[in-house]
Structure 1
Amino acid sequence: MIEQLKIGKLRWFHIAVANDENINFLKDNFDFHPLDIEDCQSKVQRPKIDTYDDYRFMILHFPYFDKAFKFVKTKEVKIFWGRDYVITLGTHWVISSLFKKTKKDADIDVDELANTSDVLLYSILDSLIGESLKLFTLISDNLDHISREMFDKKAEKTIERISITRKNLILLNTAFKPQIRLFQKFESGVIKGFTPGLEDYWGNILDSYRKVWDSIEDYQELIQGFSQTFDSLQANKTNEIMKVLTVFSTILLPLTFITGLFGMNVDLPLGENPLGFTFLIAFMVTLIAVLLFYFKRRRWI
């Protein structure tokens, strides 16, 4: 199903699924390059923009949070726009929501500039980036959990949170980095739309992308610091455990030797003495006390 909306002379077509019927609609009604049509049918493409005399074709990725798996995933959005039309392809709910809102407000009188394809494209992109920025609230909350849990005994939970956050930041990095270069071309005028004087609009989109990029870099540094701190804490805990085990081993070694020696079937001093066993126990207890005092004096425990 193709949703259609007309705003003055501007037409907006929204295609959720690129099935054969919808692809044939594009072929029959627009003179798009065959490779662009082919890209519409492919599910995974790198972000890019192709420019032609009478239209532009753009592929972008926008992340969303998958609550079931706790990971960030991306939805691909493909956009054709010409002088008097915009065609969006994709299942991103932000586009569907904006389409319904625009359709509801279509009868409201607006200035001529607002009824241009470039301004509509700006509104779509601004809404998509705004939704993407909400992800950083979730990542920030996750980092707060990590900072609190690091000093608890929930090592497995903390490791899981650190791993998930790192993976999400890597995916965000992969999604947004190539798109920044795209919109730098818009701001610099290397790529132009169909409405003059919109450099500030494209600059605003680029600023939003830079804000996202700065947040990604800040969070990557923060999670790296948390990871190193957590590793140090775990190493310190391991050292403490090994220290206790070493002390126990050191204490038990002479005791094991003494009990083994007196357990042999040979004549030994005090072997026949009725107080021999009592003396042996007292000696072993004294030895333990001396070793503990020595370890404490050396600050090993």
Structure 2
Amino acid sequence: MKHKNNLLDTLVQQTHNLPNRILPLGSKKHNTNKHTKYIRKINYEKTQLIVIDEPRKKDYLYLKRYFRFHPLHLEDILSPIQRPKIDLEDEYIFFVLHFPQFNSQTQKIDSKEIDFFLTENEVIVVINNQFLALDEIITSIFKNKKEREKIMSKGTAVLIYHLFDKLFDSLFPLLEDLEKNLDTIDKNIFTIQPKNIADHISFLRRNVIYCQTLVKPELNAFTGLENTNHKFMTKEIKTYFSNITDHLKKIWDRLEDIKELSDNLSSTFESYLSFKTNETIKFLTIISTILLPLTLLSGIYGMNLSFLPLSNHPNALAIISFIMFLIITLMLLLFKLKRWI
């Protein structure tokens, strides 16, 4: 009888240890604090947000253990991917997005990769590099109860939409900085040293083109996502995501405008630089042309030949100097007549 009671107690204890709910992509209830300090988790009703900072091998094993994600997608979170993409699976959607961020030390725009898993009840955010805009969004969700209720109360698809919306909104100040930089170059293109202008234009064009290489595939990916029949992409959710596509189109259009204006500025600067170079070459050519007969004349009289005209004249220096001055005057008049100067 005692043995039966022990068996009953064991069964009751095991029953209490069962998960509170069955995860659609996992087989076990997971305690993130047990696995790694780099994983943060917050719940609101049935919606769960999991944030993984600087993923490592143990994070890969954690996701592999508790979620049925494709192995290739799990490998993607550990290695940088060259281009943004959106992969659709039956039970989840995998997003790889790149966001431009200005590096004040190099004066260049770098990309920050952020990976997202969208499941029925979870949004998993994998942050490979610190991105200030995302840090502010995540902090707001974790600390602000009203913000958390507003963003997470309508499910995971709306939650990830709000994340995307705020992230892409954070790019507009960067575009404004590029436009201000363009305006500064435009105002000072003829006053600053040519080398500095060339450097500014080169950095600007490089940054704009780099942003375009990030935005273009994301625009195509989100446009394709709107046209998909995935079970997460209901009519209501597609309406939300169409706003993301609109943001990306606006960003792309502004980048195109900046690129076109920077190309025009570059062309204008090259024309101006070519003109200044030609002016310098023309000036040096005129000097060389004037000095040529003077050099010839001085070279001849420098040979000290006795039979040369004026070689024994007491005023030879004054006469030869006058002849040289006359040659210079006549050549300048000729250049003026030809409109070369």
Q: TM-score, normalised by structure 1?
A: 0.94
Structure 1 distance, partners of 2:325, 2:229, is: 86
The one of 123, 128, 132 aligned to 2:162: 123
The one of 109, 115, 121 aligned to 1:84: 121
Q: Secondary structure at the match of 1:115?
A: coil
Residue 210 of structure 2 is matched in structure 1 by: 171
* 139-148 or 57-66, which deviates more: 139-148
Structure 1 pair 153–279 and aligned structure 2 pair: CA distance change class (3 A): farther
The one of 60, 71, 75 aligned to 2:108: 71
Alpha-carbon contact 1:6-1:106 (below 8 Å) kept: no
Residue 188 of structure 1 is matched in structure 2 by: 227
Structure 1 distance, partners of 2:243, 2:286, is: 64
Structure 1 pair 207–14 and aligned structure 2 pair: CA distance change class (3 A): same
Structure 2 distance, partners of 1:283, 1:182, is: 80
* 30-39 or 7-16, which deviates more: 30-39
1:139, distance to aligned residue in structure 2 (A): 1.0
1:229, distance to aligned residue in structure 2 (A): 0.5
2:85 aligned with 1:23, yes or no?
no
1:252, distance to aligned residue in structure 2 (A): 0.8
CA RMSD of the aligned region, Å?
A: 1.9
2:235 aligned with 1:199, yes or no?
no
Structure 1 distance, partners of 2:245, 2:192, is: 43
The one of 186, 190, 199 aligned to 1:160: 199
Alpha-carbon contact 2:42-2:49 (below 8 Å) kept: yes
The one of 43, 46, 71 aligned to 1:6: 43
Amino acid at match of 2:319: F
* 92-101 or 64-73, which deviates more: 92-101
Alpha-carbon contact 2:55-2:78 (below 8 Å) kept: yes
Structure 1 distance, partners of 2:231, 2:335, is: 76
Structure 2 distance, partners of 1:141, 1:216, is: 13
Residue 297 of structure 1 is matched in structure 2 by: 337
Alpha-carbon contact 1:83-1:194 (below 8 Å) kept: no
1:112, distance to aligned residue in structure 2 (A): 9.7
Residue 26 of structure 2 is matched in structure 1 by: none
After superposition, where does 1:1-301 map in structure 2 within 5 Å? 1-90=38-127, 91-106=130-145, 114-191=153-230, 193=232, 195-266=234-305, 267-301=307-341
Alpha-carbon contact 1:146-1:161 (below 8 Å) kept: yes
| Structure 2 unmatched runs, 5+ | 1-37
Alpha-carbon contact 2:142-2:148 (below 8 Å) kept: no
Q: Secondary structure at the match of 1:61?
A: strand
Q: Secondary structure at the match of 1:198?
A: helix
| Structure 1 unmatched runs, 5+ | none
Amino acid at match of 1:61: H
1:169-195 C-alpha deviation (Å, 9 max, x unpaired):
121111111111111122223555255
Structure 2 distance, partners of 1:93, 1:209, is: 20
Amino acid at match of 1:222: L
Q: What percentage of aligned pairs have identical amino acids?
A: 34
Structure 2 distance, partners of 1:41, 1:225, is: 41
Q: Secondary structure at the match of 2:125?
A: strand
Structure 2 distance, partners of 1:122, 1:179, is: 14
Q: TM-score, normalised by structure 2?
A: 0.83
1:147, distance to aligned residue in structure 2 (A): 1.1
1:256-296 C-alpha deviation (Å, 9 max, x unpaired):
11111112232112111112221111111112111112212
Alpha-carbon contact 1:7-1:106 (below 8 Å) kept: no
Q: Secondary structure at the match of 1:197?
A: helix
1:147-205 C-alpha deviation (Å, 9 max, x unpaired):
12320251111111111111111211111111111111222235552554122211110
Alpha-carbon contact 2:141-2:148 (below 8 Å) kept: no
Q: Which has the larger radius of gyration?
A: 2
Structure 1 pair 96–236 and aligned structure 2 pair: CA distance change class (3 A): same
